[in-house]
Chain A
Amino acid sequence: MLVVMSDLKPEHQKQKQKQQEQDVDLSVDLAGMVMANPVMTGSGTSGYGPEYAPFLEIASLGAFVTKAVTPGERKGNPPPRTVETAGGMLNAIGLANGGLERFLSDKVPYLSELGIPVIVNVAGRDPDEYAMVCRALDEVPCITGVELNVSCPNVSDGLDYGTDHARLESLVAHVRRDVKRAKVIVKLSPNVTDITATARAAINGGAEILSLINTLAGMAINVNTFRPMLANRTGGLSGPAIKPVAVCMVHKVYSKVAREHGVPIIGMGGIQNWRDAAEFMLAGASAVAVGTALFVDPTIPNQICGGLRTYLAGKGMSRLCELTGMLAN
């Protein structure tokens, strides 16, 4: 029988350790957006809130990030929309959503009761569409931030802003002019040669927070039928398969652009547990988002918070925010 060493510790030592874990401050402050803990949902992986309520206390999240909202309703792509690949999944949902009006009437009442920061992911076809949605959301008190989805690989117009620096800067500036209260977050695409250049463009346009990475463009083919596995032919790759790419990009953006401008990063891409979350924070993220892993286990955000407490107490650290960018040379 395996004897765990911690079981042999005297009772007072165990109590002390537990107390140290409880004393760890998990709160983070992202450009004035204060979260009780660093774990949020990745856009498009937890609907608009109530879907995971049977399994996860949504109010226990650091922040809730909604699925994308566009000005009008979008049906999205035909099925199949997702396929599992080695260590990950491809999706091509196509921004399916009921549109701004239905979001405001049907989804906001639930979100307004959560009592945690709520971030709404926003997509549009041109700067005016983005600005129109963001203006409306800016007037809803419970909405703490808008996350500009400039990097969805699954709609024909999705990647243009995320890969063209000049257009991205002008789009962000356009939105910033109209948004008076909510934080403006820009979600960066990994489908670029140099993500630090897009990060710089977003910051120059007025981004207050960066989130990265969105999915990597990918494709899978059925060799029996010769057909693509997704009806949309290509999709976005997420899950643990992309985590090293994401950590690398967070590290580059943090060390070359974001740190000097004081712009916090929400890190995401394949996070499944507290170790993954800690990795992103060491690379420079101030908060993290869990996406694909929620499909497997919606309770992961709570598990990550518990794991981070134990980890930080073990390191003799009392504040999680001190972990950001602590990567050793």
Chain B
Amino acid sequence: MMTMATKPGTSHPALFDGVVAKNVSICSEHFRLTIDCPPGVTDALNLARAGQFVHLAPPRGEAEGAAGGNMGTSSCPVPLLRRAFSIAGLRDSLSDGHFSGGGRQFDVMYRVVGTGTRWLSGLRAGDALSVMGALGNGFPISDTKRHAWLVAGGVGLPPMLWLAEALGDAVTIGDTTAAGKVDREVVAFAGARSVDLLALTVDDPSVVSRDAGVASLGAKEFADVGARVVIATDDGSLGFHGHVAGAMGEYYGQADVQTDDLVVYTCGPEVMMRAVAEFCVARSIECHVCMERAMACGTGTCQSCVVAVQDESATDGWRYELCCDDGPVFDAERLVWG
């Protein structure tokens, strides 16, 4: 079964069954799941942008007209509701992919924390799963600012990987016909509690360069798309000793960057995103925050995933917007932190 239609706004979601191409461990707790999609949804996927998400569930039991959400077995229960994951990358399926006639494949990354992610971790190549997406709104990409910083903590990394790729694809900014065109400098700040929880392929931890006074390492995922990487670990086991927001602050102090020539994107634990957002707002730096909320529907119906934003027309100055439909990317200046 495949349903496609156009939704107003930036989302053009489809509902379809995809097939697992790969499900691999990338560090002690994180996995990367690659899903092949049928050619019929290629147009919908091609409209997707970094920051958008997919909503995943066990495949629908079509023959009986049954939804999923059965209890599974006691050893491996399956989730009732879909689970939302940021898209970490999108490309053409390999020629030996599941669907004949091409199609696209996308990645999500996850850490096993509960029923939904435990179900995902048990999927093998060839297994089907139901995909709804892409949902939500992606990161706006500035075509005038020469510096883009991506600040990611823990499982906030996936949308940043795709964003770095997108920024790399659009690396020439400004008027391309002008003689003085310049390249965009992309710096990724990646944080984890400890090096074994860092979901990146670090080339060689012994090869450390100093960028703006902060240790910079090569990580394949970002290096491949021309982005520099600053790593921070809470325990100091690799890179900057401390939170990734702190690493960004230190880098900023040393870097020669004009605030109006810099855009910051962030995703990760809320406390970390808040620190990044407040740092940027205080300096009038453009900042886009990819929020996370528990979601049921992912499409704006259930009203679960509210995010408080400023609203001058409201008597108390704020209102709720929906992370799924109005976000998940919000302008840092609009957010009201709890």
Do A and B bind? yes
Cβ-closest chain A residue relative to B79: A84
| Complex-state Cα separation, A79 to B303, whole angstroms | 10
Q: How far is the CB of A84 from chain B (nearest CB, A)?
A: 5
A81 touches B304 (CB 8 A): yes
Q: How far is the CB of B151 from chain A (nearest CB, A)?
A: 23
Q: Which of chain A's residues 257-302 have a Cβ closer than 8 Å to chain B? A: 272-275, 292-300
A46 touches B301 (CB 8 A): yes
Binds B, one of A18-26, A51-59, A122-130, A201-209: A51-59
- B62 cross-chain contacts in A, Cβ below 8 A: 303
Q: Which of chain A's residues 281-329 have a Cβ closer than 8 Å to chain B? A: 292-300, 303-304, 306-307
- A75 cross-chain contacts in B, Cβ below 8 A: 319-320
Asked whether B68 is an interface residue with its Cβ less than 8 Å from the other chain, the reply is yes
Cβ-closest chain A residue relative to B71: A87
B80 touches A239 (CB 8 A): yes
Asked whether A83 is an interface residue with its Cβ less than 8 Å from the other chain, the reply is yes
| Complex-state Cα separation, A307 to B303, whole angstroms | 30
B302 touches A44 (CB 8 A): yes
Asked whether B7 is an interface residue with its Cβ less than 8 Å from the other chain, the reply is yes
Binds A, one of B89-97, B199-207, B289-297: B289-297
* Given contacts A76-B306, A84-B115, A272-B69, A240 and B60 within 8 Å (CB-CB): no
Q: Interface size of B by Cβ–Cβ distance < 8 Å?
A: 51
B296 touches A295 (CB 8 A): yes
Q: How far is the CB of B64 from chain A (nearest CB, A)?
A: 6
Asked whether A132 is an interface residue with its Cβ less than 8 Å from the other chain, the reply is no
| Complex-state Cα separation, A299 to B12, whole angstroms | 17
| Complex-state Cα separation, A296 to B297, whole angstroms | 7
| Complex-state Cα separation, A75 to B300, whole angstroms | 15
- B307 cross-chain contacts in A, Cβ below 8 A: 79
- B223 cross-chain contacts in A, Cβ below 8 A: none
Cβ-closest chain A residue relative to B15: A55
| Complex-state Cα separation, A87 to B296, whole angstroms | 14
- B61 cross-chain contacts in A, Cβ below 8 A: 273
* Given contacts A54-B6, A91-B296, A82 and B302 within 8 Å (CB-CB): yes
B130 touches A297 (CB 8 A): yes
Q: Which of A51, A82, A298 contacts B304 (CB 8 A)?
A: A82
Most B CB atoms within 10 A — which of A88, A274, A292?
Answer: A292
Q: How far is the CB of B62 from chain A (nearest CB, A)?
A: 8
- A298 cross-chain contacts in B, Cβ below 8 A: 15, 299
A297 touches B301 (CB 8 A): no
Q: How far is the CB of B125 from chain A (nearest CB, A)?
A: 22
Q: How far is the CB of A238 from chain B (nearest CB, A)?
A: 10
- B112 cross-chain contacts in A, Cβ below 8 A: none
A296 touches B57 (CB 8 A): yes
Asked whether A223 is an interface residue with its Cβ less than 8 Å from the other chain, the reply is no
Q: Which of chain A's residues 18-77 have a Cβ closer than 8 Å to chain B? A: 44-47, 50-56, 67, 75-76
Cβ-closest chain A residue relative to B68: A296
Q: How far is the CB of A137 from chain B (nearest CB, A)?
A: 20
Q: Which of B1, B13, B70, B302 contacts A299 (CB 8 A)?
A: B1
B80 touches A76 (CB 8 A): no
B71 touches A86 (CB 8 A): yes
B65 touches A274 (CB 8 A): yes
B15 touches A295 (CB 8 A): no
Q: Which of B12, B65, B306 contacts A306 (CB 8 A)?
A: B65
* Given contacts A79-B293, A273-B65, A297 and B60 within 8 Å (CB-CB): yes
- A217 cross-chain contacts in B, Cβ below 8 A: none
Asked whether B5 is an interface residue with its Cβ less than 8 Å from the other chain, the reply is yes
Cβ-closest chain A residue relative to B294: A80
Q: Which of B5, B80, B325 contacts A55 (CB 8 A)?
A: B5
- B320 cross-chain contacts in A, Cβ below 8 A: 75-76, 96
A96 touches B303 (CB 8 A): yes
- B271 cross-chain contacts in A, Cβ below 8 A: none
| Complex-state Cα separation, A93 to B4, whole angstroms | 29
| Complex-state Cα separation, A88 to B77, whole angstroms | 13
Q: How far is the CB of A246 from chain B (nearest CB, A)?
A: 15
Interface string of B36-70 (1 = CB under 8 A from A): 00000000000000000000010011101111111
Most A CB atoms within 10 A — which of B3, B8, B307, B338?
Answer: B3
Q: Which of chain A's residues 84-114 have a Cβ closer than 8 Å to chain B? A: 84, 86-89, 91, 93, 96
- A44 cross-chain contacts in B, Cβ below 8 A: 302-303
- A304 cross-chain contacts in B, Cβ below 8 A: 65
A294 touches B297 (CB 8 A): yes
A79 touches B294 (CB 8 A): yes
Interface string of B72-113 (1 = CB under 8 A from A): 000001011110000000000000000000000000000000
- B230 cross-chain contacts in A, Cβ below 8 A: none
| Complex-state Cα separation, A286 to B46, whole angstroms | 44
Asked whether B152 is an interface residue with its Cβ less than 8 Å from the other chain, the reply is no
| Complex-state Cα separation, A111 to B61, whole angstroms | 31
Asked whether B305 is an interface residue with its Cβ less than 8 Å from the other chain, the reply is yes
| Complex-state Cα separation, A67 to B304, whole angstroms | 13
- B305 cross-chain contacts in A, Cβ below 8 A: 79, 81
| Complex-state Cα separation, A21 to B267, whole angstroms | 51
Cβ-closest chain B residue relative to A80: B294
- B3 cross-chain contacts in A, Cβ below 8 A: 54-56, 299
| Complex-state Cα separation, A31 to B5, whole angstroms | 35
* Given contacts A273-B65, A296-B67, A299-B3, A88 and B302 within 8 Å (CB-CB): no
* Given contacts A82-B304, A299-B3, A51 and B67 within 8 Å (CB-CB): no
| Complex-state Cα separation, A93 to B122, whole angstroms | 32
A296 touches B80 (CB 8 A): yes
Q: What are 23 A-B pairs at a CB distance below 8 A?
A: A44-B303, A51-B299, A54-B6, A54-B299, A76-B306, A79-B294, A79-B304, A80-B293, A82-B294, A82-B295, A84-B116, A96-B303, A273-B65, A292-B80, A292-B81, A293-B67, A293-B69, A295-B81, A295-B82, A297-B15, A297-B57, A299-B1, A306-B65
Known A47-B300, A75-B319; further 11 A-B contacts with Cβ < 8 A: A45-B301, A51-B299, A52-B301, A54-B4, A54-B13, A93-B302, A272-B67, A273-B65, A292-B81, A295-B82, A304-B65
